[in-house]
Structure 1
Amino acid sequence: MKKINIGGVPEHFNLAWYLTLTERAYEKEGISLRWKDYPGGTGAMCKALRSEKIDIAVILTEGIIKDIIDGNPSKIVQTFVQSPLIWGIHVAADSKYKTIEDLKGTEAAISRYGSGSHLMAYINAENNGWDTENLDFEVINNLEGAIDGLNKGKGDYFMWEHFTTKPLVDQGIFRRIADCPTPWPCFVIAVRTELLEEDEETVKTILDIINATTSEFKDIPMIDQTIATRYEQQLEDVQEWLSLTEWSQELIDEETITKVQNKLLNLDIIPEKWDYDQLTYKIS
């Protein structure tokens, strides 16, 4: 049995992985696939890939591109979610800040440097014409850290996926000021280069299994109710999320890689652009 470790955020985007694991789909192909939740998000997964704690990550596009350029020995093998990620911009429920403009010059709470919440703070700042060279950050580790931190004055605003945080908005823990969608497909699948070189066939088998599920994910009977129950979401919120979300079974294209790198370079987040084949790997 080939042992492979994989990581991702414990969110509804990754339910397809849970379903295939529950069905023992990988074991039937001689693969022991072990899933690990990463509430800390992309920054935590980049660290885990580098330290070989995981072999595969379902990870934010902009985050892994930055980290590969920074030395992470991994490559993107596929887009996982084709649609943008809708980042909600949140403040504590009793915060004095009411609008996006009120947040100019304030401190962004982020899970860690290099995370989506960190990189998207730059995108949001640029969208609003702020000075991106003088942004201030407070590291709060994860969503739980933000719940505790924002209400204690650790950071002024926090960016996290809209539907994941919707229950916290409904409960009056956060107040959402606005949304900031990613300008590109949000999640990709990245694999350590060593595994690709040693056992591409196992990676291909894993992708074949997950792609068979995501290609028919929306047609699974009562999938909206399953998601609502498992992730403690309102049914109407899940239905809206499903209407906005599209999975992919293809390798990310060169145009998208260029678009992401151009944005990261302009924001001074990466020092240089890399060629398409330095960042991606096509499974044959």
Structure 2
Amino acid sequence: MKQLKIGGVPEHFNLPWYLTLRDKEYHEFDINLRWEDYYGGTGQMCNALREGKIDMAVILTEGIIRDIIKGNDCKIVQVFVQSPLIWGIHVAKNSNYETISSLKGTHAAISRYGSGSHLMAYVNAENQGWNTEEDLKFEVIKNLDGALKGLPEGKGDYFMWEKFTTKPYVDNGPFNIVGECPTPWPCFVIAVRNEVLQNNAEAIRKILEIINKTTLEFKEIPSIENMISNRYEQKVEDVNQWLSITEWSQDNLTDKQVQKVQEKLLQLDLIEKTVDTSEILASL
């Protein structure tokens, strides 16, 4: 049986993976796919791919494209979630910040450099017309738990994370939300180490086939909103809103989409060059 490891954030977007793993669907094709949660998000998964700790990752588009350009030996094989990610911009409930504009020049709490929370802070700054050299400062807090503890203690002034994941902490916890910042591209892709693509291409194709069947039918699963609500401790009305704006994908990024991400990263000085799309996308 082929042994493969996949990483992802422990969030509602990835419930389709949990369902296929729970039902041992990959075993039917002699594949033992094991899932590992990465609470530190994209930056942590980029490191895990580089170090060979995982073979695949469900990862933020801008983060993995940047890391591939910086030498991560992997490629994107498919978009996983086609719709944008809605990043909530959060502050501590005990802070005096009430608007995005009041955060100019303050410290963004980020999980790590190269993470989505780091890169999207630049996108948000540009949206606000800030000077990204002067008006952006960072405080590394490792993950969501680090922000929940750190922001009320003054470790960082604001924290960007997917708004439905953090909604319970806005309703009943230490966060207030002062605004949103959607990604200008499909948010999650599936990346695979090149060595794995070379040696296990058929297994990767089969994994994609199985997960794609599940995501195509995901919204039609009876009482799926209740399952998500219970598993991720979210209100059913929030889950239904999230389901209404979220679309999964069974296709890869287009050359145009890759170019758009690269141009934005270059504009924000997050990469030093752009590369040919063939260095980023794999065709299976």
Instruction: Please report how far the alpha carbon of residue 28 of structure 1 lies from its aligned counterpart in structure 2 after TM superposition.
Output: 1.1
Match of 1:151 in 2: 152
Measure the CA separation in 2 of the matches of 1:74 and 1:14: 21
Measure the CA separation in 1 of the matches of 2:217 and 2:273: 38
Alignment of 1:92-107 (within 5 A): 92-107=92-107
Match of 1:194 in 2: 195
Q: Which runs of 5+ in 2 are unaligned?
A: none
- The two structures have a TM-score, normalised by structure 2, of 0.99
Match of 1:176 in 2: 177
Match of 1:58 in 2: 58
Match of 1:282 in 2: 283
Runs of 4+ residues deviating >2 angstroms: none
Measure the CA separation in 1 of the matches of 2:164 and 2:269: 29
Match of 1:46 in 2: 46
Provide, for residues 231-269 of structure 1, a one-character-per-residue CA deviation record: whole Å limited to 9, x for no partner.
Answer: 000000000000000000001111110100010000000
Measure the CA separation in 1 of the matches of 2:182 and 2:198: 35
Measure the CA separation in 2 of the matches of 1:26 and 1:217: 18
Measure the CA separation in 1 of the matches of 2:212 and 2:66: 25
Measure the CA separation in 2 of the matches of 1:172 and 1:200: 45
RMSD: 0.5
Match of 1:113 in 2: 113
Instruction: Please report how far the alpha carbon of residue 172 of structure 1 lies from its aligned counterpart in structure 2 after TM superposition.
Output: 3.5
- The two structures have a TM-score, normalised by structure 1, of 0.99
Match of 2:75 in 1: 75
Instruction: Please report how far the alpha carbon of residue 162 of structure 1 lies from its aligned counterpart in structure 2 after TM superposition.
Output: 0.4
Letter in 2 for 1:118: H
Match of 2:205 in 1: 204
Match of 2:219 in 1: 218
Report the number of matched residues.
283
Q: Which runs of 5+ in 1 are unaligned?
A: none
Match of 1:259 in 2: 260
Letter in 1 for 2:209: D
Letter in 2 for 1:268: D
Provide, for residues 183-227 of structure 1, a one-character-per-residue CA deviation record: whole Å limited to 9, x for no partner.
Answer: 000000000000101110010010000000001110111100000
Alignment of 1:221-240 (within 5 A): 221-240=222-241
Instruction: Please report how far the alpha carbon of residue 11 of structure 1 lies from its aligned counterpart in structure 2 after TM superposition.
Output: 0.1
SS at match of 2:139: strand
Measure the CA separation in 2 of the matches of 1:224 and 1:199: 35
Instruction: Please report how far the alpha carbon of residue 94 of structure 1 lies from its aligned counterpart in structure 2 after TM superposition.
Output: 1.1
Letter in 2 for 1:165: T
